[in-house]
Amino acid sequence: MSSKKIILSVIVIFLIAFSVLSLKWRTGNPVDKITVSGNYTISRAEILNIARLNDSLISEDEINIEVIQDRIGKHPEIKKVFVSKELPSELKIDIIERRPVAILNCGNEINLIDEELETFPFKNPSKMYDLPVISGVRPDNSKNPLKKFNKEDLRLGLFVILNSYKQSKAAYNNISEVNLSDSSKIIVYMSEDSSPFYFPRLYKESISNTEYQNLILNKLIVFENYLKQCLGNHLKQQVNYVDLRYSNEVIVNSNN
């Protein structure tokens, strides 16, 4: 037998032996360590509970990667989950949580919403989110049960919130709610005293339009400047509304 054939035979035997040992480990070793990573607002105990696992020794019969992954993935606040087994006896659970950027208030239904327009319910009502609210969103006209909210309204509300955060943390922190119930304007309620600010709204125009975006971005700058220059005086008055829809003026309607 030539040296090449001998080497090839050794390699084949090694691969077969490795496969057998790997299979033996996978079917014989119990799991005595569970590692959970990537979770920030969802506790380890909650993840293990929905996976139907515990921290004690787990027999191989209880370990089904696909089943565990499927159970965890159904949690409304989890975007992705990766479950794997690592030598010698560890089960690893890697979580990517949904990151809510606003609270969506639609009448009797309250949800969270992320940057990708995905809405999901409060899993735990006792959790407090210091997030602005989007309200007045129209229902979706399609018959798809997964599309309950008008996407254009959601995009518009998030555009205001996310860009206020990018431009000025002070302005962002002064937004408690973005209300879209009025087709003629966007109503932004200020955190300090709940007074409404009127932003322009192009009702039949998509916020994906660059000119529409620039219009809103410019008004966010006006909003920020108003807070910097007039907030102290504003809070001393009984302000009914502040209208930012005009090009060269800010109209403050108050009882003073």
User: Which domains can be identified in the chain, with CATH numbers?
Assistant: 29-97 (3.10.20.310), 100-254 (3.40.50.11690)
Residue 127 predicted with pLDDT over 80: no
Across residues 183-190, what is the average pLDDT? 96
CA 174 from centroid of its chain's CA atoms:
21
The alpha-helical segments, DSSP class H, found in the chain are: 3-28, 44-51, 65-73, 151-167, 169-173, 210-236
CA distance 105 to 5: 72
Residue 239: enclosing H or E segment and its boundaries?
strand 239-243
Instruction: Give the CA distances from residue 112 to residues 38, 77, 115, 131, 160, in Å, rounded to whole numbers and listed in that order.
Output: 19, 9, 10, 9, 16
Contact yes or no for 199/207 (Cβ under 8 A): no
Q: What are phi and psi of 96, to 5 degrees?
A: -120, 110
Residues with Cβ < 8 Å from 1, sequence gap 6 or more?
none
Distance CA 170, CA 42 (A): 29
* DSSP element (H, E) containing 227: helix 210-236
Q: Which residue has the tokens 């304007």?
A: 185
% of the chain at pLDDT higher than 90: 52
pLDDT for residue 21: 52
Does residue 77 or residue 122 have the better pLDDT?
A: 77
196-200, strands of its sheet edge to edge: 119-121, 109-114, 100-106, 133-135, 175-179, 185-190, 196-200, 239-243, 251-254
Q: Are 244 and 198 in contact (CB under 8 A)?
A: yes
Are 97 and 79 spatial neighbours (Cβ–Cβ below 8 Å)? yes
Cα gap 83→90, rounded to integer Å: 11
Write down the H helix ranges in 135-209: 151-167, 169-173
Q: Per-residue pLDDT for 13 more than 50?
A: yes
Asked if the peptide bond before residue 121 counts as cis, ω within 30 degrees of 0, the response is: no
pTM: 0.77
User: At 25, is the pLDDT very low, low, confident or very high (cuts 50, 70, 90)?
Assistant: very low
User: Radius of gyration (Cα) for the chain, nearest Å?
Assistant: 27
Q: Averaged over 226-250, what is the pLDDT?
A: 93
Higher pLDDT, 128 or 120: 120
Residue found by looking up tokens 């002064």 in the block: 174
Return the minimum-mean-pLDDT range out of 11-20, 69-78, 114-123, 159-168: 11-20
